[in-house]
A and B are shown apart, each in its own frame.
Chain A
Amino acid sequence: MTELRRCDVLVIGSGPAGQKAAIQAVKAGRTVVLIEHERAVGGACVHRGTIPSKTLRESAAQATRLARDAAIWGVSPRAGIEVSSLMARLDQVVSAHAHYMGRQIDRNGIERHHGRARFVSPETVEMTTVAGERSLFTADVIVVATGSRPRNPPEIPIDHENVLDSDSILSMLYLPASLTVLGGGVIASEYASIFAALGVKVTMIDRADRPLKFMDGELVAKFVEAFQRAGGTYIGEQTLGGVAFDGVSKVLTTLSDGRVVESDKMLVALGRAANVDELNLGAAGLAANARGLLAVDEHCRTANPRVYAVGDVVGPPSLAATAMEQGRRAARHALGLGEGAGTETIPIGIYTIPEMASVGLSEDEAKKRAGAALVGRARFDEVARGQISGITDGLLKLVADGTGRKLLGVHIVGEGATELVHVGQMALLGQMSVDAFVENIFNFPTLAEAYRVAALDIVAKRPA
C-alpha cells in the first residue's frame, strides 16, 4: 500500500507562480513539497516560452541592427540563417536559468519531486513518476500552478511540420521564406515581428481590426508600421475558412472574404489552454470553467478552500511577472500572513520588435475614470539618445488627469520600452506629479529624457 506523505503546503508546478508560492511558504516556516511534471524546474516560461522566444528575439534584434549598420561596417547579413544558429545561446541560457531556479528551490529546503500529479480526494494528490511509480501526498494547502500549453483549435491541422504552434516553432531547422501567423495576441505579435525582422515574409491574420487590442492604439499603430516596414502584412477582421497543407510545399489559408494566403509554414497562436486535464479536478471537488480555466477569487482560492490556483492556469494576463505575484499572494493568504495592498500598477511588457510596455491607465480608461485626461508625447527621435542609438521609431506617452498634474499611466513603444516603463511605474507607485519629471534630473543622454519631454508636453497643455 502506498504511504501517505504529509506536508504543510503542496505546490504542483514549478514555473514562476509555483516557485514563488513555494518559496513564500517555506520562508514562513512551513514544510513544502513541490511536484514538477517536467525534468527541470521553471515551467513553460523557461523551457518553451518566455526565455527561448526572447533569446530568438535578441538574435532578430541584432540582425535588425546589423542590417541597419551594414554599410558602416562594410558587411552584409548572411542569407539562409539556420534557426538553431540564432538560438545558439539558448541551451546555455535555459540551463543556467533552470539551474539557478533549482538551486534556489533546494537552498530553501523545498522538497522537489519529478512526476505527474492528480487529485485523488479534496486533500490528497497522487504523483506518478516517469517510471510509473506512485506516491500519495496530503497537505493543508495545495497550490495548483500547472501552467498552460498552446491551444490547438480542432479545425486547424497542427502537424508540427508545416503547421506549427508556439512550442514547435522554436525547433524549426531553417527560416521559411514565408510564414502565416494566426492570431493577434502577444505571442502572435512577438513571433510575427521576430520572423519579419529575420527577413521572413510574414502575414498575420486575426479577427480584430488591429493586433493587441488591449494595448494603447497609438503604440500598436507604431508597432504595425514597423512590422510593415519589415515586410509584414496584417490582415484583420477575418475569420478562417480553412487551413490546409497542399501536400507539397505550401500551407493554404482561406479567409472569410475568399482570399487564399499561401506560405511555407504557419504558426498558430490562438491563445493557450490551461494544463488541467491530468489533475483529475473532480476528485478535488473542482471543475474547469467554460474557458478551460480554474476559477479563483481575489485571493487565488478555488471553490475548494484548501486549493489555490495561480499563473496561466487561472487565465489572463498570463504574464510571468503577474504569476509570481499571484503565487506569493496565494501562499500568504493561505497561511494567514496578510497579502499586503494589491496593486493596479502591474506593468505589461511585450517583446515585439519594437518592444511595447504599459503601466497604469490608458487614455480611454483615464477619460472614463477621471472624466478627462491630458496626454504628453515624446518621440524618441526628439531625444538625443534615440538619435545616437538609432532608436528613432519610439514613442513615450504619459497620461495625466484633466488638470495635467496627476500621473495616471505610461505607455511606451520602442527599443528598451520594457525597461524604461519601470521609471513610470515607480512614479505611479509613489503617486508623483507629472512635474516630478520636469523638476528632476535624468542622465543625459538617455531615453529616460523622453519622460521629461512628454511631461513638458502635458505642462504646455494644462488648462489656463
Chain B
Amino acid sequence: MSTQEPAPLTGPGSQEAFSPATPGPEPGEREILRRRVADRLGTGTIALPLLPQVASQVLALTSQPKVDALQLSNLIHRDPALAGQVLRIANSPAYMPSMPIVSLQQAVARLGMETVTEIVLAASLQSGTFKVPGYEGALKRLWRHGLASGLFAKEIARLLRSNVESAFLCGLLHAVGKPALLQVVADAQRDRTREQAGRGAVTDEVLRELLAEFHTGVGLRIATSWALPQAVVNAIAFHAAFETASANRREAAVACLADLFACELDEPQPSFEADIRRQPVVAELNLYPDDIAQLLAKRPAVARTVESMTL
C-alpha cells in the first residue's frame, strides 16, 4: 500500500470461512494448485459468476405494467458482476454505442429500459451456470464488499469534490477479479481433488493467498475485455499501490481508502477509527481529522444501503 508502515487493517473476509472446513492441501499440493490456477488463467475466457436471483427479480420487475427505469437501475446496482456484464454488453458492437457506456444510468438513458432489461437477462442467463458450490458465502461477501467499497468511494469523492460516478465504479470494481477467481480456483481444485481422490480441499488461508496473488491480474483482464474506462482500469491495477500509479493516482487512492472502510464494515475493528487516520492513503488524499470524522459518520448509512441492496 505504501512505503510507510500502516497499522494493520484486515482485508475483506480475512477472518471468515471461505470454504468448507476440510483438511487443507499439503505444502507441495498448495504449489501444484497454485500452478493449476495460474495455468487456467493463462488460457480461456474468464466469466464473472452472477447471483441468479437477480435474473428472476428483473423478470418480476419488468413483468409489472409500470416499470420505473430507476428501479431497474437500482436492481442492477445490487450486483456488481451483473452491473459489469451489462456495461460490457452495452458497449459491445451489438449495441453500437456512440460513446463508451460506463454507468447504468447512462446505459438506461442511452439504450432505453427495454434494451437494458434484455441485456440484464442475457447476461444472467449466460452467466447463470457459473456457480461455485461451497463458496456461495464467500461470493456473497465479496459482492457486499465491492458494493460497500463503491458506496464509500462515492462519499470520499464527494468530500474531495471529485466525480462521484467514476469513484463508484472504481470502488465497485476495484477487486472485480476476486469473484471470477473463485470459479477458477474451484475448477482447479475440482480437477486436483479428482486426481487425488478427495484430498486437499482449499483452506481459507490458501484461498486468500490465491485471491491476493491473482485477483489484480484477473481484474485487469476483465477490465480490458469490458473496455472499462482507464480510470477504473488504473484503480483496479493500483488500488493496493496507489503511490506507483503513473495516471489516475487519485482514483486508485480513493479505491484504496474505500476498500479499507469496506473491510471494516465486513469485520468491525475496535481500533479502526484511530488506525485509519494513520494510513498513508489518508495523507495521500489530504484528508484531515474532521474529514475522516465525516467519513466515519457515513458508515451506518453505507451499511444500511449495502444491506438493502444485498440479495
Set B103, B109, B161, B248: member contacting A167, Cβ < 8 A: B161
CA–CA, A169 and B232, complex, Å:
17
Write 10 A-B pairs (CB below 8 A) sorted by A numbering.
Answer: A82-B230, A84-B231, A85-B230, A88-B247, A91-B249, A160-B163, A168-B163, A171-B250, A174-B106, A247-B70
Task: Chain A residues near B287: list those with CB within 8 A.
Answer: 130
- Known contacts A84-B230, A85-B230, A248-B105; decide if A168 and B161 are in contact (CB<8 Å): yes
Set A130, A132, A250: member contacting B109, Cβ < 8 A: A250
Give the A-B pair count, Cβ closer than 8 A.
108
In angstroms, how far is the closest chain B Cβ from the Cβ of A101? 17
Near B by CB (< 8 A), chain A positions 127-173 give: 128, 130-132, 149-150, 159-161, 164-165, 167-169, 171-173
B55 at interface (Cβ–Cβ under 8 A)?
Answer: no
A160 contacts B231, C-beta separation under 8 Å: no
Contact with A along B214-248 (1 / 0, CB 8 A): 00000000000000011110000000000000111
Q: What is the size, in residues, of chain B's interface with A at 8 Å between Cβ atoms?
A: 42
A116 at interface (Cβ–Cβ under 8 A)?
Answer: yes
B283's closest neighbor in chain A, by CB?
Answer: A130
A39 at interface (Cβ–Cβ under 8 A)?
Answer: yes
B99 contacts A80, C-beta separation under 8 Å: yes
CA–CA, A85 and B248, complex, Å:
11
Near B by CB (< 8 A), chain A positions 82-116 give: 82, 84-85, 88, 91, 116
B24 at interface (Cβ–Cβ under 8 A)?
Answer: no
- Known contacts A171-B166, A250-B109; decide if A116 and B246 are in contact (CB<8 Å): no
B86 at interface (Cβ–Cβ under 8 A)?
Answer: no
Task: Chain B residues near A85: list those with CB within 8 A.
Answer: 230
In angstroms, how far is the closest chain B Cβ from the Cβ of A153? 15
A173 contacts B231, C-beta separation under 8 Å: yes
In angstroms, how far is the closest chain B Cβ from the Cβ of A307? 23
Chain B residues within CB distance 8 Å of chain A:
69-70, 73, 97-100, 102-103, 105-106, 108-109, 154, 157-158, 161-166, 169, 229-232, 246-251, 277-278, 282-284, 286-289
Task: Chain B residues near A88: list those with CB within 8 A.
Answer: 247
A130 contacts B157, C-beta separation under 8 Å: no
> Is chain A's interface secondary structure helix, strand, loop, or mixed overall?
loop
CA–CA, A168 and B162, complex, Å:
4
In angstroms, how far is the closest chain A Cβ from the Cβ of B90? 12
Task: Chain B residues near A81: list those with CB within 8 A.
Answer: 99
- Known contacts A91-B249, A130-B283; decide if A174 and B99 are in contact (CB<8 Å): yes
A173 contacts B277, C-beta separation under 8 Å: no
- Known contacts A131-B278, A248-B69, A264-B109; decide if A173 and B163 are in contact (CB<8 Å): yes
B247 contacts A131, C-beta separation under 8 Å: no
